[in-house]
Structure 1
Amino acid sequence: MRLFLSLPIPEEAADLLEDLQTDLPAGRPADPDQFHLTLVFLDEQREETAQAIHEAMEHLRADPVAIRLTGLELFGGRAPRALVAGVADPAPLRALHAKVLARLRAAGVAPERRRFRPHVTLARFGDLRRHETARLERFLTENAHFEAPSFTARAVELVHSRLGANGARHEVLAAYPLEAVRPA
């Protein structure tokens, strides 16, 4: 099963992201009901590994994380593959990411090594034509100051992603609360 660990995006922020999508000049918009911020992509895992991931995450101890989505960016260099909303201060998310990785490694799960760049994917692209790229650049300029209200992530979710002809469908398998960590 194809898995990832993520933070859900609350409705207020999701609505603003969906509003941005209405003017998108190219690409395939992400399903607004599935907006999320990926902490760790786990790829294909056997059922026993999924169980080990679940058990490891049940012991996660981390504070809730304040998040503010801001700015738009293209991922993929000269041949953009995705339009994403960035995060104003990624430091708390990087700390949470490190704690999640530590839990996974302690359980013998080794996720692929990727640089962690917190974001929410708004759209995906195939091969863009020159006129689509120009319209996309205008769209980015017009929305350069995008900002959503801050929200607090209070749980990490384990998500099963099923690929299909119309994109991925996500099913939340479990949620692990983020609660204020009290000093010992």
Structure 2
Amino acid sequence: MRLFLSIPIPEEVADLLEDLQTDLPAGRPADPEQFHLTLVFLDEQREEVAQAIHESLESLRAPAVEIRLRGLELFGGREPRTLYAGVADPEPLRALHAKVLARLRAAGVAPERRRFRPHVTIARFNALRRGEKPRLERFITENAHFEAPPFLAREIELVHSVLGARGARHEPLAAYPLIEE
């Protein structure tokens, strides 16, 4: 099963992201009901590994993290693949990420080694057609000052990502509360 750990996005922030999508000049908008911030991508895992992941996080003691989405950026360089909203101050999320990685490694789970760049995906692109790239760049410039109100991440979810013809469908399997101070 394809798994990841994520932080859910509250409805009021998801609504702002969905509003951005209405003027998107290209690409395939992400499903607003599935907006999330991926903490760790775990890829394909056997059921017993999924159980080890769950057990390693059941006793996690980590503080809740305040998150503020700010700005729009692209992954993919000259050939954009993903439009996303960034995180204003990623350091608290990086600390949470490190703590979760340590738990996973102690449980014998080795997630992929990719630099952690916290973000929320807004749209995905295959190949941009003629004229779409300048319109996309203009859209990003016009929305460069996007900022959502801060929210408190109160839990981490273990999510099963089911791939289908219309993209991935995300099914939360478990939630691990974070400690509010």
TM-score per shorter chain, which class?
over 0.9
The answer for the alignment partner of 1:59 in structure 2 is 59
Partner deviation per Cα, 1:33-69 (whole Å, 9 max, x = no partner) = 0000000000000000000000001121100000000
The answer for the alignment partner of 2:83 in structure 1 is 83
SS at match of 2:43: strand
- CA-CA distance at 1:130 after TM superposition: 3.4
| Aligned mates of 1:129, 1:59 — CA distance in 2 | 49
- CA-CA distance at 1:86 after TM superposition: 0.2
SS at match of 1:126: coil
Which runs of 5 or more structure 1 residues have no equivalent in the other structure? Answer: none
The answer for the alignment partner of 2:142 in structure 1 is 142
SS at match of 2:126: coil
| Aligned mates of 1:130, 1:117 — CA distance in 2 | 29
Amino acid at match of 1:13: V
Could you say what the CA RMSD is over the residues aligned between the two structures, in angstroms? 0.8
- CA-CA distance at 1:180 after TM superposition: 4.1
Alignment map for 1:1-184 (pairs within 5 Å): 1-180=1-180
SS at match of 1:66: strand
Partner deviation per Cα, 1:71-104 (whole Å, 9 max, x = no partner) = 0000011111000000000000000000000000
SS at match of 1:4: strand
Contact 2:154 2:180 in 1 (8 A): no
The count of residues paired between Structure 1 and Structure 2 equals 181
Of all paired residues, the percent bearing the same amino acid is: 82
TM-score, length basis structure 1: 0.97
Runs of 4+ with deviation above 2 angstroms: none
